């Protein structure tokens, strides 16, 4: 039972992280390479304060880690396998999106109350 609880916790954390487009963009950027907050804020075109809040969420979810680098802090994925998981999710979402959109599913959900995607 402990394994199931751990598995559910990991999936819940991953889902929470992916629930926000900025966090998705952050994870994809860190999938490419570790980065400093100032570089991430510039690349994502968001304020450092906003970025800091999203990085804190990703740290709390256990998906990214802060690595001291002299006087600076670099961020990276907590586990390289997360990059592979993101790739797998992107491929799965693309496959679903080409056949049917969430808007289509929402329309059907109104008729049969099954929910989106």
HSE toward the beta carbon, residue 3, CA cutoff 13 A: 0
Do 57 and 108 share a domain, yes or no? Answer: no
Number of domains in the chain: 2
Residues 29, 64 within the same domain: yes
Is residue 55 within 8 Å of residue 20, measured between CB atoms?
no
Does residue 73 share a domain with residue 84? no
Both 102 and 50 in one domain: the answer is no
pLDDT digits (tens, 9 = 90+) for 19-74: 999 999 999 999 999 999 999 999 999 999 999 999 999 999 889 999 999 999 99
pTM above 0.85, yes or no: no
Comparing C-alpha atoms, which of 49, 64, 50 is closest to residue 13?
A: 64
> Same domain, yes or no, for 51 and 66?
yes
21 and 73 in a single domain? The answer is yes
Instruction: Residue 86: give the domain boundaries.
Output: 80-117
Indicate if 74 and 96 belong to the same structural domain.
Answer: no
């Amino acid at each position: 039972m402990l394994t199931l609880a751990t598995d559910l916790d990991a999936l819940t954390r991953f889902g929470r992280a992916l629930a926000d487009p900025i966090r998705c963009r952050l994870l994809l950027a860190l999938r490419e390479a570790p980065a400093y907050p100032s570089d991430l804020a510039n690349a994502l075109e968001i304020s450092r304060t906003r970025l800091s809040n999203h990085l804190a969420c990703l740290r709390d979810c256990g998906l990214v880690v802060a690595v001291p680098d002299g006087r600076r802090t670099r961020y990276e994925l907590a586990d390289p396998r997360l990059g592979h998981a993101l790739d797998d999710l992107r491929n799965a979402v693309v496959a679903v999106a080409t056949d049917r959109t969430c808007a289509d599913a929402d329309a059907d959900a109104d008729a049969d109350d099954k929910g989106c995607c």
